[in-house]
Chain A
Amino acid sequence: MLAFILRRLAQSIVVMLVVALISFMLFRYVGDPIANLVGQESRISDIEELRQRLGLNDPFYVQFARFIANAVQGEFGISYRLQQPVTELIVSRLPATIELAFASAMIALVFGVVLGVFTALRPKTFATGVIMTLSLVGVSLPTFLIGIGLIYIFAVELQWLPSFGRGQVTDLGWWRTGLLSESGRRSLILPAITLSLFQLTLIMRLVRAEMLEVLRQDYIRFARARGLSKRAINFGHALKNTMVPVITITGLQLGSVIAFSIVTETVFQWPGVGSLFINSVQVVDVPVMAAYLMFIAFVFVVINLIVDILYYAVDPRLRVHGIGAGK
């Protein structure tokens, strides 16, 4: 067990290092941060001097080593754009993104499971056909278009919901939440729906496929033969067995929801890490961009590690080979 976890940990560290190298390397090419830092007033000599001060003229490996050494201590330097410590910026933006990600994951999970079960239990009906087709519209529309459409309908034309931001937030000291005020909760609705549509389709189809699979299994047939009620079979046995892979997938997807929120946050001016990242890309704020990528990789590595260990604990067959946990 310990050996397995240690090996997984070592692999995770390698993953983090590779991501660090890639993100660090890529950003050197995205643009020239210097051109944005100096005003219209500045002269070539000033720019040269600024480069020197930022250490951008050092050899590549020196810059990378410095980057890693600092990153290990959670130190990603000062944002070129907002001139505040990057770690502090990301930490202050995280609650917004996490609340959005969880809200949308809940929407996706609830509606996805309900619709998935419905379509699995009534596979041949017209309603199922409509739901299955409509769910594809959700993945055929670019997120930004959905967002702008929702704003236009619900904020501008109907004026039911706010078009941007988080509304009234409450500062709990270490967490700024929008969930405690009405305007905060109302502000969450449109972006959460926008962000959830993609996952909703995914979960619904997964639930449907798993349900269909399970309903065909022998033990369900036996249950039917024993005369158990339909409800008990469908929800007591079939759905319960379906939920394990569904929850696993939803958990694994949480990391990508956080990253996926880049577009949604931009459209709704949601003050989370995704909009921080896009704002930084535009002015080539390298420290923020690098830290963001490292953060996303870290979230993913942690979630994967947890899932792997859980699988290991649950499924004895994996103990033979150890590697290549079935995801």
Chain B
Amino acid sequence: MSAQETTSTIAAVAPPRSFLRRVWDSDVFYSFRRSPVTILAALVTLLLVGASVFAPWIAPYDPFNPASLNLMDGFTPPMSSSMSGNYFLFGSDHQGRDVLSTILYGSRVSLFVGVSATLFAIVLGVSLGLAAGYRGGVTDSVIMRIADIQLSFPAILIALLIFGIARGIIPPSRHESMAVWVLIVAIGLANWAQFARTVRGATMVERQKDYVSAARIMGVHPLRILVRHILPNVLGPVLVIGTIGLALAIIEEATLSFLGVGVPPTQPSLGTLIRIGQGFLFSGEWWILFFPAVTLVLLALAVNLLGDWLRDALNPRLR
């Protein structure tokens, strides 16, 4: 998909022209236009997200359907056909799965886990941060102390523990169907504290301001004040942390897979694919590791670059 095509698709479905004009002229978008790296990152992200969303229609094979697999297709090198006549652009893995298709489906799993976990972390972190910043006092102390404890452990360790406890609580027969959700909760719970801290700080600043005091004196419900007045003011930093958090969540999922906890191998994420692939590093089947690894790095890098750009764009002092 070329850059031209992207812009024209946006134009085709875009809201009224004046809005588009406003976006185009805005500071944020100006800095976007000015940075070729950011444009490239946005394109890569769009491409990968699009490819994974439409994986069932794009992918040459359905790697998640075990019945369609032929074990004897295994270890076919890239750009060649197996004995059964199947063609594999990126080669096939140890189960005879098409590496390209597993990457498309795997990105889907990785993105789903990453996005959901980040959203979960945002919702949790922002609500707690708002509560702590607005209420202050004991509420603040308790929430921030919990955030401290949480931050004292690396996210991976926390996710590992939450995954462990979930395995214990959920009956074994349901482990596989729940695995993705457990991962989301585990990674989400490991990452909320960053949001809570940022939002708390911003909230404390905002609540001192006159317009908030005025609203409070007028008897506006605190929840309404929080949502209508304070929340919009803290969204900027949340967006920045959220973008970087997404990249982090994707990497965390991959690391958890490496440590042996994660989604079932029959429905692999990018991380699971890399874990499987690294077993073939020395045996010559480099493509089983190489393509998923490149995809993961591209995805994380593109999202990180976007986050980087957002931070600079939303913080004019740094320009």
Contact = CB atoms under 8 A, between A and B. Distances in A.
Does A touch B (CB under 8 Å) in the complex? Answer: yes
Interface stretch (B118-126, B146-154, B174-182): B146-154
Range, interface on chain B? 35 or more
B317 A255 contact: no
Interface stretch (A46-54, A71-79, A143-151): A143-151
A263 B304 contact: no
B165 A29 contact: yes
Contact of B148 (A156, A260, A304): A304
A216 B317 contact: yes
A118 interface: no
A152 interface: yes
Contact of B274 (A25, A145, A304): A145
Give the interface size bracket for A toward B.
Answer: 35 or more
A212 to B, nearest CB: 6
B258 interface: yes
B184 interface: no
Interface stretch (A100-108, A130-138, A170-178, A235-243): A130-138
B255 A144 contact: yes
A313 interface: no
Q: Which of B157, B278, B300 has the most CB of A within 10 A?
A: B157
A152 B281 contact: yes
Contacts of A26: 161-162, 164-165
Interface in B163-188: 164-165, 167-169
Interface stretch (B54-62, B63-71, B89-97, B137-145): B137-145
A209 interface: yes
B145 A14 contact: yes
A223 interface: no
Contact of B154 (A145, A152, A259): A259
Contacts of A297: 149, 152-153
Given A129-B37, A140-B304, A142-B271, A262 B165 contact: no
A179 interface: no
Interface of A: 11, 14-15, 18-19, 22-23, 25-31, 129, 132-133, 136-137, 139-145, 148, 152, 156, 209, 212-213, 216, 255-256, 259-260, 262-263, 266, 278, 281-282, 293, 296-297, 300-301, 304, 323-324
3 residue pairs, one from A and one from B, having the closest CB atoms: A29-B168, A140-B300, A300-B152
25 contacts: A11-B145, A26-B165, A29-B169, A30-B164, A30-B168, A136-B301, A136-B304, A137-B301, A139-B300, A140-B296, A140-B304, A142-B254, A142-B296, A144-B278, A148-B281, A152-B281, A156-B282, A209-B318, A259-B157, A263-B255, A266-B259, A278-B259, A297-B152, A323-B141, A324-B144
